[in-house]
Amino acid sequence: MKDIRKEIQPKNIFKAVINNPLSNQEQEVLTFLYQPIVGANAFSLYLTLLSEIDASGMSDSLFHADLITMLDLSIQQLEKARLKLEGIGLLETFVKTDSELGNVYIYRLNHPESAEHFFKDEVLTLTLLNIIGQRKLDKLFNRFKPKFVNLSGYENISVGFKDVYLFKEEQIISHSEMLNNIEILFMIQDQQRRLQQSVKLLTGIILFQELNV
């Protein structure tokens, strides 16, 4: 495969996209769990790309020179930061060649894993451990671990959906094909995303080690 990464130039145009905004919880996960792994430059690149995206889910067309100026990075540092985001699954890069504009890029930002999924992922957890140490990892786990309230002595008197909302169960049968198609679409999309992230994570750990040699 041709190594298109070497062809990125300050004059190349790009757009940044994301499917929906980050939640407050996702921003915390990104800051406290991902940032130590990817480093300051990659973290700043992600946030900068995110800040350029408007309500439509896409940014205006920008030059890589704009990123270089905003982040105060060289093109080589920008490339290294991009690779770190790609390797850990936070960014996907797409490119096409235009006869007049040359290579045109789309940077698709991915959401970070939830804190639960992050800590359940052995590769992510051990990579973070190797960087920040056990004491700091324990503090972060305590920060993100589920919070439980002691409800002993209380009775749950909450009502159910059917107690409040009118719903005709026969609609499930009459709309079964549509519902199945929706379920399958999201299932396939989720499976593909998780497979891609697993491959990217394993590849990214190797790349991360190479970039920090």
* Residue 136: per-residue pLDDT: 97
pLDDT of residue 147: 86
Bridge partners of residue 13, in order along the sequence: 63, 104
- 3-class SS string, 145-191: CCCCCCCCCCCCCCCCHHHHCCCCCHHHHHCHHHHHHHHHHHHHHHH
Confidence at residue 212, expressed as pLDDT on a 0 to 100 scale: 60
Residue range 107-119, pLDDT digits in tens: 999 999 999 999 9
Residues in the chain predicted with pLDDT less than 50, given as ranges, are 1-2, 4
Spatial separation of the C-alpha atoms in residues 11 and 1, rounded to whole Å: 23
162: Cα separation from own chain's centroid? 36
* pTM to 2 decimal places: 0.76
Please say whether the beta carbons of 53 and 17 come within 8 A. Answer: yes
pLDDT (tens digit per residue) in 79-133? 999 999 999 999 999 999 888 888 999 999 999 999 999 999 999 999 999 999 9
Residue 132 confidence (pLDDT)? 96
